[in-house]
Amino acid sequence: MIALTLAQLARVLNGRLELAPGIASDAVVSGDVDTDSRLIQPGGIFVAKPGEVTDGHLFVGAAVERGAVVAIVERLVDAPVSQVVVPDAIGALADLARHVVAQVRDAGALRIVGITGSNGKTTTKNLLARILEDEGETVAPRASFNNEVGAPLTMLRVTESTRFLVSEFGASAPGEIARLAGLVEPDVGVVLMVGMAHAGGFGGIEATFEAKSELVRAIRPGGLTVLNADDPRVAAMAPIAAERSASVRWFGRGPGADVRADDVQVAGDGTRSVITADGVSAPLHLRVLGEHHVMNALAAIAAATALGVSLVDCIARLETVELAERWRMQPLGSDRVRIINDAYNASPDSMSAALRTLAQITGPTERTVAVLGAMNELGEYADDEHDRIGLLAVRLGIQRIVVVGTAARRMYLEAIAQGSWDAEAVFFATDDEAYEYLLGELRDGDRVLVKSSNAAGLRFLGDRLGESFS
């Protein structure tokens, strides 16, 4: 974080400063900010966030032991550390992020990119950060830091030397992207797709469109929007961009896109294509598994080239990326039994894409095995969408369908109803049962996809299988 005195910090947060003995109000703090006391480093700022399970105020002492020099709290805590008392710790975190980014932007050449979409945010963020980091200091979220806590924490890593801030904006309810993106007013806003992820929380696909379009409405006047030309709902955001006097840069597979992919070929070592950006073409071998990640690469290239990076440099840097993120199309196991662990997140769109990838990368002498868990946050759409995935798995000819967890049972029932019998589809209530079955079932030449939402926990089953067949 940029340097602030304790008095300045209190003024920014409109809070009451309570100094520790022997500490003056002009003492300077510039350490990292965090809400997790275990991650505090010497000189750090600890935000005591109240939570559903526990309360950050209980861990102020632990943060001090790890080197925190100030705590942002909602009530004064008996601990030997200076404290800024505020009504709302999460609100204060947002206020601090807004101030820090504004100060850096006003003083230098900071460019800010915001990314949202029902799927692909984290992968696109990582691809874009990889391109930009060779241009100058780049700050991007760790993992999926894209909510009311994670997004501001990422913003607070910005310093006077930062050239690019890449922010990922997720949402669990309408208005959340507007609040988060409004903290920084991105110069470039990237919208990947509008799908069924979180549709239960939003109340349907049209409400999801409204939520994702909040990023476009938050773009700095005269900025740039990078929109998916292949998604009609995303394409419909162009008039919203015009309201912000923002230009539109299109990416997609069609000939009308400013940045497009042709001759796409999917294999076990990644996806090859020819990328064209503004009339210049070059081949790309994207080693991140899955044809759907080509669209994420296109979005990253569209943003990066708009920021002045050449297509040749974009491609050279993307070809160094072997894994988008842990538990996202992560290759494990061995050539004998290959495990693809993609169980960090799941929606109907990403589940479909992962199953299609499994079918595409499996050779004629190899066997497809899909280990599937529940897709969460679908609300009233959950039954129909789980049915649809069970049907798709059968139609793709997946040779073994292993469904895990009662919340995903409809996939199994639909697979059976569609003609997958004779042990082609099996169901297990627990990960342990599925693991024991797969230890005895998997054989040389199997290609295994493990896919579920984070809450279903199958990512750990994928790790176990990867280790067992390494």
What beta strand segments (E) does 8-85 contain? 16-18, 28-29, 33-34, 45-47, 70-73, 82-85
Amino acid type, 413: L
Q: 276 and 255 in contact (C-beta within 8 Å)?
A: no
Q: CB neighbours of 314 closer than 8 A, spacing ≥ 6?
A: 131, 277, 300, 301, 304, 305
- With 0-12 / 13-18 / 19 or more C-beta atoms within 10 angstroms meaning exposed / middle / buried, residue 333 is buried
The two tokens of residue 200 are 């239960």
Check the annotation: does 124 bind a ligand.
no
Q: CB neighbours of 54 closer than 8 A, spacing ≥ 6?
A: none
Q: Round to the nearest angstrom and report the end-to-end CA distance of the chain.
A: 42
Q: 173 and 87 in contact (C-beta within 8 Å)?
A: no
Check the annotation: does 14 bind a ligand.
no
Check the annotation: does 122 bind a ligand.
yes
The two tokens of residue 235 are 């394409």
The SS3 of residue 211 is helix
Check the annotation: does 117 bind a ligand.
yes
Question: What are the two backbone dihedrals, phi and then psi, of residue 185, each rounded to the nearest 5 degrees?
Answer: 45, 80
The SS3 of residue 352 is helix
Q: 253 and 230 in contact (C-beta within 8 Å)?
A: yes
Q: 448 and 355 in contact (C-beta within 8 Å)?
A: no
Amino acid type, 428: F
Q: How far apart are CA 409 and CA 413, in angstroms?
A: 6
Name the nearest CA neighbour of 1 among 46, 37, 59, 66: 46
Alpha-carbon distances, residue 445 vs 192, 361, 401 (angstroms): 35, 12, 16
Check the annotation: does 320 bind a ligand.
no
Check the annotation: does 35 bind a ligand.
no
Which ranges constitute the DSSP H helices of 269-366?
Answer: 293-306, 311-318, 348-361
The two tokens of residue 40 are 């505090």
Residues in the chain: 470
Q: How far apart are CA 342 and CA 327, in angstroms?
A: 5
Measured over the CA atoms of residue 400, residue 401, residue 405 and residue 409, the dihedral's sign is negative
Q: 303 and 124 in contact (C-beta within 8 Å)?
A: no
Question: What are the two backbone dihedrals, phi and then psi, of residue 371, each rounded to the nearest 5 degrees?
Answer: -105, 110
Amino acid type, 42: P
Check the annotation: does 121 bind a ligand.
yes
Give the annotated binding-site residues: 117-123
Give the annotated binding-site residues for ATP: 117-123
